[in-house]
Amino acid sequence: MHDLQAERRTALTVRVWRTLLGVAWLIWITDLATKIWAVSSLSHRGSVKILGSLFQLNFVRNSGAAFSFAPGSTIVLSFFGIIVLIGIAYYAPSLTSKGWAVVLGLVMGGVLGNLTDRIFRGPGLLRGHVIDWMQLPHWPIFNIADSAIVVAAFISIVLTARNIPPIKKEELI
């Protein structure tokens, strides 16, 4: 009986890691590809209206956090992103469901997307500006990585409302 429980736990851990890393990779690659496109196609032109004023493409380099909060704090935000990635790696083996694996995969992919900009884009290592390029009315300009993190927040609210805990209480100790 104990071996069966251990096997199930191992199988769940493998599924969680596959889901988490698969989602993270998909978000990271999509974010990177769209930012490369945005730099080449949007950086030297004005706003492009896709659905009138409802949805526009508008290129900006953001030195702050989401919603242009804390401009100029890129190095602090870079280290915060690294801490978030370490936290995800630490808690991922304790996840209780694939739903929470999707949440952490979305967060990991989003953090990796923006952290990649902070590491490799100008003005320098861990101080690079994040490429944002999508705009909705009355909403700051954002990117795929930002969207993934927001979607993760909504999914986590749904999972919490459905009383699906992210990790078992005994594993918090």
Domain that holds residue 129: 2-171
Q: How confident is the model at residue 158 (pLDDT cuts 50, 70, 90)?
A: very high
Contact present, 97 and 89 (Cβ < 8 Å)? no
User: What's the rounded Cα separation, in Å, for the pair 45 and 133?
Assistant: 12
Q: What H or E segment, with its residue span, contains residue 38?
A: helix 2-42
The β-bridge relationship of strands 56-62 and 48-49 is antiparallel
Assess whether 132 carries a catalytic annotation: yes
Banded model confidence at residue 2, pLDDT cuts 50, 70, 90: low
Predicted pLDDT of residue 20: 97
Asked if 48 contacts 56 with a C-beta cutoff of 8 angstroms, the reply is yes
Its pTM stands at 0.88
Catalytic, out of 3, 31, 117, 146: 146
Alpha carbon distance 9, 41 (integer Å): 47
pLDDT > 70 fraction of the chain, expressed in percent and rounded: 92
Is residue 18 predicted with pLDDT exceeding 90?
yes
User: What's the token pair of residue 65?
Assistant: 């956090």
Number of folded domains that form the chain: 1
